[in-house]
Amino acid sequence: MVNRLCLRLHPVAKAGLGALLMGSALLARAETIAEIKPEQLAEIRRLPVITPELPTPAFRWSLETSRSFRGKRTTTETWQPSANGLAQVTIEDPSRSAGDRVIERVSLRGLMYVRTGEQKSGVQFSNLRLPIQPGDKFTVTISREGRTITKRCVAAERELASKLHPAIPGNYVPIDCVGEMQYRGMNLKADGDFAWIEALNLIFFPTESVDYGAGTFVQRVRISAFQLR
């Protein structure tokens, strides 16, 4: 059983894996593609997840997130169409204070939010190619806010995207990942599942977990509503 006191106090458990990938907090200030610094934009354009051959369509979905020892939270994201995978996203979060319930973010192919005030994206890939195909093996490393997570991933056979939500057409590629997080000198086990949604050319995270010694912090995300725009 997870030690509840350690879960409350341990900074990794508080932050969670999803926090590292997507940003530990949605800052009140809106961020747009136009604000990305030129040196950071040049680096982003060299990443294998940014490619004009795989545009992202306009869509809107609601995500129900549950975390260990926390209540469920539902956010709604409205995605603008993207020609290369760098997309503007409007996030509606009714759990936030009134002035911060709607915020703009820039998504890097669904993998993470771009911090427009920084010079580097903080992400590296090894052997990743898009679109992700069954049997592909790759590594992704993300460094942010004093934490570095490395995940080694293997893509499985295609499944119907309707398993993620009935309104999503086509197939998705399940991806099993194992890895570790380095934080303040600690090496922690960090596993999870990715999904490459072919109709959206997008990465989605159904399950993430961090084993921090006293227990395991788990985050699960379910698509509760979906609509192409």
Maximum average pLDDT range among 65-69, 76-80, 142-146, 210-214? 76-80
**How many Å apart are CA 5 and CA 190, to the nearest integer?**
21
pLDDT of residue 168: 98
Mean pLDDT of the chain: 85
Amino acid of residue 185: G
Show Cβ contacts of residue 57 under 8 Å, excluding neighbours closer than 6 positions.
79, 81, 199, 200, 228, 229
Q: What is the pLDDT of residue 8?
A: 37
Residue 12 has pLDDT above 70, yes or no: no
29 — pLDDT class (breaks 50, 70, 90): low
Q: How is residue 49 written in tokens?
A: 């997840």
Per DSSP, the chain holds a count of helices (H) and strands (E) of 3, 13
Q: How far apart are CA 117 and CA 37, in angstroms?
A: 7
